[in-house]
Amino acid sequence: MFRLILHLIRGPLRSRESLILENVALRHQLQVLSRGQKRPALKNRDHMVWILLRRGWQGWRKPLVIVQPETVIRWHRRGFRAFWRRKSRRRSQGRPRLSRHERELIQKMVANHPTWGVPRIHGELLKLGIEVSQTTVAKYAAGQKPPSQGWKTLLKNHSHEIVSVDFFTVPTITCQVLYVFLMVENSTRRIVHFNLIAHPTMEWTTRQLVEAFRWDTAPTYIRRDRDKIYGRVFTAMVKAMGIEDVPTAPRPPWQIPYIERLIGTVRRDCLDHVIVLNHRHPHRVLSEYISYYNESRTHLGLEKKCPVPRAVEPPESGSIRKSQVLGGLHHRYFREAA
């Protein structure tokens, strides 16, 4: 009773604005309580009413009954954070997101080719006309090794005039050892020539040189190791063809890095996954792989290009297709009109 009398005495002394705000607060609470629930759930618009009352009226605490004043303060802080989070949101979201089809294509490439690294996959996507950064490819190719630092360029100023040659061995299922002879252009990484034999001789090796470079296609320099297979017959033919013979120092494989790297690539990409049956079998396998290597495989050392130039196929050329290489060990990706 005393509080009612005190309220009646103070009423005329308060400003009209304060009375209006108190009336709004009480009416709002009556409206909430009239919803017929034991504990009415407050909605966002109810929160907004009390946030506005708190900001514009100092006596907002007194008529408040349905919640604690600390609850209104918490609503206000939450709304403040949401307002500034929305206001400070960037207008531009950076690069456009990859489509679902492109993400699935990256994941399929990773699954089908566990020996491919992120740079290889990125180069393949660029050839398919899909403009995407290597970082984005790495994001969707989880578990891939980081891109390597590339090969140290030896004799960089003359790489377009140099061909490197070397042998490596291939065991067969009958424990026979075959010798594979490779020749590669240093500048383009293109495999110029290959052949294999069970018992190589100096004359056979010299004949490979003649078969690889006919007419005026011979390089200026030829790099090789000091194997005795390159004897006087070989060196004499090199000189007769106008090629300068540049052997390496004793036991330094790093002086012929391109051919050494190529041999490792042929093993990892091809021969490590094949059981060689006889003499004819590796010749067929290597022929198919070398065709893929020269014409389709992208190279980190060539800025994601191929030894034999491969045109970029824009998206409007058609949908993406793939053809198998070596029974599905590798794939060629290309665009084909529907």
Evaluate whether 327 touches 311 at the Cβ level (below 8 Å): no
* Claim to verify: residue 169 and residue 145 sit in the same structural domain: no
- Helix or strand holding residue 247 (H, E): strand 244-247
* Claim to verify: residue 279 and residue 170 sit in the same structural domain: yes
Q: Is residue 15 part of a domain?
A: yes
Give alpha helix (H) positions in the chain.
2-10, 16-33, 44-56, 69-87, 100-112, 118-127, 134-140, 202-212, 232-240, 257-269, 280-295
Q: Is residue 92 part of a domain?
A: no
Given the DSSP bridges, would you call strands 191-197 and 221-224 parallel, antiparallel or unpaired?
A: unpaired
Q: Is residue 93 part of a domain?
A: no
Tens of pLDDT along the chain (338 residues) come to 555 554 555 555 456 777 777 777 777 777 777 776 666 667 777 777 777 777 666 777 777 767 777 777 777 777 777 777 777 776 655 667 788 888 889 888 888 887 888 899 999 999 998 888 888 888 888 754 544 444 444 456 667 789 999 999 999 998 899 999 999 998 899 999 999 999 999 999 999 999 998 767 889 999 999 999 999 999 999 999 999 998 998 878 788 888 999 999 999 999 999 999 888 999 999 999 999 999 999 998 888 999 999 999 999 989 999 999 999 999 999 998 87
Distances (CA, A) of 59 to 4, 26, 55, 64, 226: 17, 13, 10, 10, 98
**Size (the chain), residues:** 338
* Claim to verify: residue 197 and residue 285 sit in the same structural domain: yes
Q: Which amino acid is at 208?
A: Q
* Claim to verify: residue 131 and residue 265 sit in the same structural domain: no
* Claim to verify: residue 138 and residue 247 sit in the same structural domain: no
Q: Which domain holds residue 19?
A: 2-87
* Claim to verify: residue 165 and residue 198 sit in the same structural domain: yes
Q: Is residue 95 part of a domain?
A: no
Cα gap 214→165, rounded to integer Å: 17
* Claim to verify: residue 162 and residue 245 sit in the same structural domain: yes
* Claim to verify: residue 296 and residue 164 sit in the same structural domain: yes
* Claim to verify: residue 106 and residue 55 sit in the same structural domain: no
Q: Tell me what percent of the residues of the chain surpass a pLDDT of 90.
A: 38
